[in-house]
Structure 1
Amino acid sequence: MSNQNGLNRRVFLTGASALSVTGFPAHAQAQAAFPTRPISLIVPFAAGGSTDIVARLVGQKMGELLGQSVVIENRAGAGGNLGSTAVARAAPDGYTILMGTISTHALNPAILKTVTFDPVKDFTPISLLAIVPNVMVVHPDFPAKTVPEVIKLLKENPGKYAYASSGVGTPLHLSGELFKSLGGVSMNHVPYRGAGPALNDVVSGAVPIMFDNLPSSAQFIRTGQLRAIGVTTKARVSSFPDIPTIAEAGLTGYETYTWNALFGPANLPRPIVDKLNSVANAALTDANVKQRLNDVSAEIIGSTPEALGEHVKIEVAKWFPIAKASGAALE
C-alpha cells in the first residue's frame, strides 16, 4: 500500500520489560500490570457505521491479546462530540479510550458552536489504525465523465448542479467543499440524514452528484447504478484499481478520506500508551481483521503514537479553514 502523510506502516511492537517492580510506587506497579480489568473503547457514533465496525474488529482482537475484554460503548451525539468529551475528561489510566475520527479531531473543533475539548492538548495519541477512502460518484446520465469534464460543466453552469452528502459538517460534505474550492466551481450542497437516503436520491437521479465513503457506494458502482468520477485518496485503491484519483485526474492537491485512530485522555502514562499501541497494531496483522478491513476498502495503517500526533496536527491545519469557509455549524 502507498504511503499516507509519511506515516510509518510498520507494526510498532514494544517488548515487555523483565524489570522487577519491587520497591516501585503503587502507580508504577499498576502500570506494569495493566490491564487488570476490562477497557472501555468509546465509539462516539451510533452502532453499525464504519467507525463502529473498525472498533469492534480491532477491539475484540486487542482484548484477546491483552487478556481483558475491550468493551465497545457507543456514545453518539453532536457529531461525535459527546463521546470524545467523555474520554477527554476521563482518568488517564488506560481504561477509557476513544475511537477518534477526522470528524472528532479535525472537523468538529471548527464547526461546533461550543467546543468542549482541544483535539491536540486533551488527548494522548495511541495509533492511527485505518484510512477509508471516499469517492465522487454521479448518476449515469450525468453528462460529465471525468474530473476535467465535471469542472468544465460546473464552471459553465454555476449553481445549476447540486451534490449530496450524509450531513452538514461531515467529511463527505467537506469533501465537496474542498472540490469546489480547488476547482473554482459552484455547486449547491444537499445534506441528508445519513449516506443511505442520499445514495437513494443520487441513484434515482434526484441529485446528480455525491461524495460518499467508498464502501457505501461500491455495490452501486459495480452494478452501474452510479458512475465513479474518482477516489479521493492520494493513491488508487486496490478494490477499484481502475478508478483514478481526483488528484491524478486533474485536480492537483485534492485529497480527503475518513480515518480511525485510538486516543486516550491527556497525560496517559507512556508504558500504558506503548502497551495499547503494541496490541492495537498487532491486532491489525490478524488475518481475519485484515480481510474484514480490506473487504470495506479500508487501508490498514498501524502507526506510532508520534505519527498519529503529527497526523492530527496536519489534519486540523488542513480542514479548519475549509470547515469554517463552508459555514457548517453544529450545536
Structure 2
Amino acid sequence: MQAFKNTFRAATAALALIMAAPVSAQEYPSRPVRLICPYAAGGLTDILARTVAQELSRRLGQPVIVENRAGGGGIAGTDFAAKAAPDGYTLTLAGQGLASVNTSLYPHLPYDTLRDFKPLSQIAKFSLVLVGHPRRAPESVSDLIHLARKNPDALSYGSAGNASTAHLAMEMFKEHNGLSLLHVPFKGESAALMELVAGRIDSMFATVGGSLALIRSGKLRAIAIPDDARNPLLADVPTMREAGIEDFNVFGWFVVLAPANVPERVADRLGKEFMAIGSDPGFRKAMLERGMQAVGSSAAEAAQMIEKETGRWAALVKKTGIALD
C-alpha cells in the first residue's frame, strides 16, 4: 500500500511538472530584464543601450533596465554578463572590440564570446568615413595611395588610440594596398579629429556620427566610405569600391548577447523581438540621427558575423603586431 502511495505521488509530481511547462514558457518575462552596458553613462554605447531597452520593454511588457558596469575597457561588464544566470533576465550590449577584437589583444581574456554567450542579434552598425583636411592632400583615395607609395611614412593618420576601430581600419587599408603610413594615436576620436582640422595629421578613419558636423561645416573633407553602400548621411561620398578599391569593407557594429545556455524558447522570443526592433521605423530613425544604422539580424547571422570578424581581426593583429598601450 505504501509503495502504491509513493508511486502515485511521484506520478502526480511528474504530471504537475509536465503541465506546468507550457505555462512557464508563456511566463517569460515575468519580471524586469537588465541590459548590461559595459561602459559609463553618456557615450554612444550607453545611448544605444537605452534606446534598445526602451524598444524591448515596449515589446516584452516588462521594464528593461540599463545597468552601466564600466571598467577595464568594457571587459569587466562583459565578463559579469557572461557569468550571469542564463535565464534571459540579464543581457549585454557589445561592440566589435569587446565581442571580437579583444580575443586577439588580451592573452587572458576572462570570457570567450562564442563560448560564453548566445548571440541574439546584431542590432546596429555604424559606418566609418575616410577624412582629410579640406585644403590639403589627399583629396581622394587614389591620391592618398599615390602619395603614400611615393613617400613612405611621410603621411600620418590619427586614431582614437591603439587597437581602436579607426586604428584597425587604417592598418587593414595599409595592408590591403601595400602602404606605409605613420600612426598617431590619441585619447579618443574627438582629439584626433581636432588635430586633423588643425592640419597636424593628414587623414584618419572616423565614425560618421563623430565627424558629420565637421564635414558639413567644411572643416573636414569626406573622401570615401569603407562600406557596401553609401551612407545616407553622406550620400555624395563614394564607397571604397566606387573609389576603385575592391574588397575593402570595414564598419563598426553592436550585438546583443545573452549568457550561454539560455533556454531556447527565451532566446527565440528575444531574437524575434530584436529583429522586429531592427525594422521599426522609429528605431531606424533614432539610429540614423546618431550616425548609426539599425540592423536587427537573426541570432544565426549575428553568430556568423562574430566568428568571421574575430578571425579577420586576429589575422590582422598577428600580421601587424598591433598591441594595446
Name the TM-score, length of structure 2 as normaliser. 0.90
| Alignment-derived partner of residue 312 in structure 1 | 306
* 2:239 partner SS: coil
Name 1:300's counterpart in structure 2.
Answer: 294
Q: Distance in 1 between matches of 2:20 and 2:186?
A: 52
User: Residue 279 of structure 1 aligns to a residue in which SS?
Assistant: helix
Partner of 2:252: 258
Separation (CA, whole Å) in 2 of partners of 1:29 and 1:82:
36
Q: Give the whole-Å Cα distance in 2 for the aligned partners of 1:297 and 1:245.
A: 16
Matched, 1:214 2:199: no
Map of 2:112 onto structure 1:
118
Q: Which amino acid in 1 is paired with 2:235?
A: P
Aligned partners of 1:45 and 1:231: how far apart in 2? 27
Please identify, of 279-288 and 206-215, the stretch whose mean Cα deviation from structure 2 is larger.
279-288
Q: Which has the higher contact order (CA 8 A, sep 6+)?
A: 1
Q: Is the 8 A contact 1:237 1:297 kept in 2?
A: no
| Equivalent residues of 1:231, 1:243 under 8 A apart | yes
- Hey, what does 2:11 align to over in structure 1? none
Aligned residues: 311
2:98 is the alignment partner of 1:100: no
Could you say which residue in structure 2 is the equivalent of 1:275?
269
Change in 2 beyond 3 A, CA 1:207/1:237: same
Q: Offset of 1:22 from its aligned partner?
A: 6.0
Q: CA offsets per residue over residues 73-119 of structure 1, 9 Å max, x none?
A: 22223332222111111111111111121111111101124211112
SS of the aligned residue for 2:91 comes to strand
| 1:289 partnered with 2:266 | no
Match of 1:51 in 2: 45
Alignment-derived partner of residue 188 in structure 2: 194
C-alpha distance in 1, partners of 2:323/2:81? 23
Look up the match of 2:161: 167
SS state at 2:113 partner: coil
Q: What letter corresponds to residue 147 of structure 2 in structure 1?
A: L
CA deviations over 1:126-171 (Å, ceiling 9, x no partner):
1111110011101123222111110010111111121111111111
Larger-Rg structure:
2
Match of 2:121 in 1: 127
Q: How far is 1:32 from its partner?
A: 2.9
Cα distance, 1:27–1:52 mapped onto 2, change above 3 Å: farther
SS in 1 for 2:18: coil
1:224-257 deviation line (CA, Å, top 9, x unaligned) = 1000111121211112111111233122211111
Within 2, Cα distance between the matches of 1:294 and 1:243?
Answer: 17
1:43–1:98 contact (8 Å) kept in structure 2: yes
CA contact (8 A) 2:163 2:323 kept: yes
Contact 1:146 1:229 in 2 (8 A): yes
Question: Using a 3 Å threshold, how does the CA distance of structure 1 residues 234 and 280 change in structure 2: closer, same or farther?
Answer: same
**Residue 71 of structure 1 is aligned with which of 62, 65, 76?**
65
Letter in 1 for 2:314: F
* Alignment of 1:240 onto 2:240: no
Q: Unmatched 5+ residue regions in structure 1?
A: 1-20
Normalised by the length of structure 1, the TM-score is 0.88
Counterpart in the other structure of 1:4:
none
Match of 2:288, as an amino acid?
Answer: N
* Equivalence for 1:182: 176
- For residue 192 of structure 1, report the CA deviation from its aligned partner: 1.4
* Counterparts of 1:47 and 1:325, CA distance in 2: 35
Any stretches of 5+ residues in structure 2 without a counterpart?
1-14
User: Structure 2 CA distance, aligned partners of 1:304 and 1:57?
Assistant: 19
Instruction: Report the secondary structure of 1:24's partner residue.
Output: helix
Higher relative helix content? 2
CA contact (8 A) 1:182 1:251 kept: no
Indicate how the Cα distance of structure 1 residues 46 and 326 shifts in structure 2: closer, same or farther if over 3 A, else same. Answer: farther
C-alpha distance in structure 1 between counterparts of 2:202 and 2:233, whole Å: 24
Q: Does 1:35 pair with 2:29? A: yes
Alpha-carbon separation, structure 2, partners of 1:48 and 1:319: 28
Q: 1:155 aligns with which of 143, 149, 152?
A: 149
